[in-house]
Structure 1
């Protein structure tokens, strides 16, 4: 069945009047072992993997918020609470907001997802010794079974995300000293924490494959197995229509026709998951601290150019998949738009939307001292973002926008499988 095109599927089903795009063979998933996925679930929700034992992967990627966290820019270390209710801890204030919106995790187990993060700084690359190109280059630890596994290695090293501030704990101290992948470094220390808990140690040995070591890559592989299993979302109304099982609602069908037709959305949001996995500059407003090294003081984010060094990639970011997009607000690499209609309207005239942008369109938890519009208040920076824009203006009526939103709603498959565990082996609190 997977070798049939969508058009053949529809024809064989005899669906009258269906007008669906031919997207080629359906996506391919690898089905993980359920015992490995179940152990990965516990690790995903366990704060044991953060420096101060107070943040889990789920703190920023929670099912209550569509596997993101419901805010434009997260508060990681130094924050308390979950989602839009998260606030600075007065006893340990965040140093800054996280610079980019927490991306959703839907369908990352499909084989076509070979690029991770908004700027693609981690991606599959056969030219690399481990088959994965990362910011660590040749210093990257081996043992990951995929880019999905490897990506989970990096939030635990970020002082603002999970590692903790300087000198707060042994993990943050190792990170500041550059001790990451080497023996005794931050990853080894985190793996040792987990192995020291008998309930983890026994289960890790039970599920470990012969080609896996006891180090952090095993933990990372298990978290990837959980994500593969838990957030596979390929049974939406759109999928059922593509398989010829049921017709879309007329409004959603009109939206589909626009999406794959005159609106031109599919020029970037292509394929079964509505992403070409490439990088495009669309003049998205830059809010928050920007993406800068510790020694830099700017608040800009040049996107893909930070990875490639190519000026042609300035302000370009990876095309996000639109699966479950109605659940994953806010939108954009900084979460500049808290509403789906707002971000659609941005696409109609990106430069005008950038130049008239107001911070009220975002959803930002209060953070004293945060200068969230510094980049937007710099005319030269705004001009550079505008000049890089790839999208030509497009006119759509209010009714057409409503139809597009209806189609995007038809991409929703909020699959529920293992859910949130009641407890984790460390005994630490679980974000619910």
Structure 2
């Protein structure tokens, strides 16, 4: 009887995917700090030229992403698909090399790396608990990985910092990455409303005590509190509510023959690993330091391990229906397209066409947007580095898998908790 009972339980577990007992645990957050972080998240004061905020590329209107294949960072104008590449001296000089990921559930303790290449992660390499672009110069007192991650877009030239000749932030970063953080902290703390909020939220002796660590914690607490989403039809299914017929068929495929759950596992639907899928190259690329090619070698850029070439972090599929386009570079504008690519990566790479990329016009960058596709050797390397086996799927089965992904879309949670502030203490305009 015990063996039969065990077999029955195993069958139920395989049929249902992740067991209902698997719960998501989050880092703690403080409400006052989260509110402070909401203002900072949407305040351009943290950018070098005071013209872009975290929320520009991770906006509530686009469900914590930006709806573009590759981001338009510092110098652009507008939000989401309305964002353009700017004009004149303020125009962007380079597209952000990768797709802006959704921020859903990133306060979960299960995340041990951030960014598509995992360049921020838990590690003892620098005696501070973290591996990051700041190496041993990372500020002290950061309580979790999300707080570490929060400060690096501020130092990225084409995201928020700007070019070295444009402002004191980018100029300082050009000397050393940590040189800009005290300047940013001073920018914030001298604004009376911010100073008062920091003193109250962190029990500081005065505004002069505000440091980049406090800003990072506030941003992290906001993202942790704001982007939690565990109220999807999938969660109701685990409590006994049936899925819609197409979603049920997709579920069987997802955890069965399609083998999606080999990487998209657990309650957040990610194994937190890195895999090569031959996603079609797009844009300027992001690779190892001093590499002149516009390619993107993924995880290898951080580890310098050839075995990591073209591998990218497995995204969580929670709310994946809301964060188009898909792929580490937003190569696919439809879920059906990215599902088909997973089913046959070699065919997907060969058949992909540039018109699928959602890139705001920038004539001065057009020559480099797809130049890597003319490098036959690089394209062959991308095609050779694939970690998943092809699976034959009919169009009906692709549609069922897309329907199942819809079962991972949250309810009211998808709108966030605090939303976009009406105004920010700096008085700078809030992107809408």
TM-score, normalised with respect to structure 2: 0.92
CA distance in 2, matches of 1:166, 1:109: 32
Pair 1:287-2:282 in alignment: yes
Q: For residue 205 of structure 1, what is the aligned residue in structure 2?
A: 199
Q: 1:362 and 2:362 equivalent?
A: no
In structure 2, the partner of 1:241 is 237
TM alignment of 1:292-303, pairs within 5 A: 292=287, 295-303=290-298
Per-residue deviation at 1:31? 4.1
1:328 lines up with 2:323 in the alignment: yes
Cα distance in 1 between the residues matched to 2:427 and 2:49: 14
Distance 1:128 1:51 in 2: 27
Bigger shift: residues 255-264 or 411-420: 411-420
Q: CA deviation at 1:136?
A: 2.1
Q: How many pairs are equivalent? A: 415
How far the C-alpha of 1:166 sits from its partner, in A, is 2.0
Is residue 421 of structure 2 the alignment partner of residue 421 of structure 1?
yes
**Cα shift at 1:222:** 0.7
Distance 1:151 1:74 in 2: 18
TM-score, length basis structure 1: 0.92
Structure 1 residue 126: deviation in Å? 4.4
The alpha carbon displacement at 1:177 in A equals 2.1
- 1:295: Cα distance to partner? 4.5
Distance 1:82 1:25 in 2: 36
- After superposition, the Cα gap between the structure-2 partners of 1:229 and 1:17, relative to the gap in structure 1 and judged at 3 Å, is closer
Distance 1:378 1:386 in 2: 12
Counterpart of 2:94 in structure 1 is 96
In 1, Cα distance between equivalents of 2:123 and 2:254: 31
Tell me, yes or no, if the aligned pair for 1:233 and 1:415 is still in contact at 8 Å: no
Query: What corresponds to 2:431 in structure 1?
Result: 431
* Structure 2 unaligned regions, length at least 5: none
Deviation at 1:297, TM superposition (A): 2.5
RMSD of aligned alpha carbons: 2.2
1:52-131 maps to which residues of 2 (within 5 A)?
52-91=49-88, 92-126=90-124, 128-131=126-129
Within the candidate set 195, 217, 220, 1:221 is matched to 217
Instruction: State the shift of 1:135 in Å.
Output: 2.1
Question: Quick one: distance in 2 between partners of 1:113 and 1:43?
Answer: 23
1:4 matched residue in structure 2: none
Establish whether residue 272 from structure 1 lines up as the match of residue 267 from structure 2: yes
Which of 391-400 and 324-333 deviates more? 391-400
Q: Shift of residue 409 of structure 1?
A: 0.5
Residues 156-235 of structure 1 correspond to what in structure 2 (within 5 A)? 156-178=154-176, 180-181=177-178, 185-208=179-202, 214-235=210-231
Asked if structure 1 preserves the Cα contact closer than 8 Å seen for 2:287 and 2:298, the reply is no
Give the Å deviation of 1:42.
Answer: 0.5
Alpha-carbon distance in 2 for matches of 1:41, 1:22: 33
Give, in whole Å, the separation in 2 of the partners of 1:124 and 1:409. Answer: 32
Q: CA deviation at 1:214?
A: 2.3
Deviations 1:146-168 (A, max 9, x none): 11111111111111110111211
1:313 aligns with 2:308: yes
Alpha carbons of 1:270 and 1:17: their partners in 2 closer, same or farther (altered >3 Å)? closer
Mapping for residues 401-420 of structure 1, pairs under 5 Å: 401-413=398-410, 414-420=414-420
Q: For 1:97, what is the secondary structure of its paired residue?
A: coil
User: In structure 2, what is the Cα distance between the partners aligned to 1:300 and 1:18?
Assistant: 39
CA contact 1:355–1:382 (8 Å) conserved in 2 = no
- Extract unaligned runs of 5+ from structure 1: 1-6
Structure 1 residues 395 and 28 mapped into 2: Cα distance closer, same or farther (>3 Å)? same
1:3 aligned residue = none
Structure with the higher fraction of residues in helix conformation? 2
Report the 3-state secondary structure (helix = DSSP H, G, I; strand = E; otherwise coil) of the residue aligned with 2:121.
Answer: strand
In structure 1, how many angstroms separate the alpha carbons of the residues matched to 2:274 and 2:226? 27
* Structure-1 separation of matches of 2:145 and 2:373: 34
